[in-house]
Amino acid sequence: MRANSSQFEKWATRNSSTQIFANISQEEAMINLERNGFSRHATSQSNVYYFEKGGVRYNFYPRSTYRGMRDVKTGFPLAEILINEDKVGIKIRFCLIK
């Protein structure tokens, strides 16, 4: 499934990052980024990767630990977006686990 055919649900509270719930797997999102010219990098942490292209960076984590928003389930894979090394306050939660 391509990311442009997915459904997204945006959710946030006043003091939290914008939460985007994607109905694709984290693996599919990573493949889509590579297809669109992002370079993949491993980190020293197990199963943590980041993708970069033109000042945009996506950090991918194997599961969220969640510590701030009520009614957000933990354990789902997660990505956060940085632009020019600054967090933009967007987290993508991948609810489809493969």
Strands across the sheet with 18-22, in order? 8-11, 18-22, 86-94, 78-83, 56-61, 49-53, 39-42
How many CB atoms are closer than 10 A to CB 22? 21
Q: What digits encode the pLDDT tens for the residues 54-88?
A: 999 999 998 876 555 555 556 789 999 999 988 77
Give me the chain's average pLDDT, please. Answer: 80
**What pLDDT sits at residue 4?**
47
Q: Which of 19-23, 27-31, 43-47, 75-79 tops mean pLDDT?
A: 27-31
Q: Which of 30, 1, 43 is nearest to 92 (CA)?
A: 30
pTM for the full predicted model = 0.76
**What pLDDT sits at residue 12?**
55
**What pLDDT sits at residue 1?**
39
Domain ranges of the chain: 3-94
Q: Which of 56, 66, 64 is nearest to 88 (CA)?
A: 56
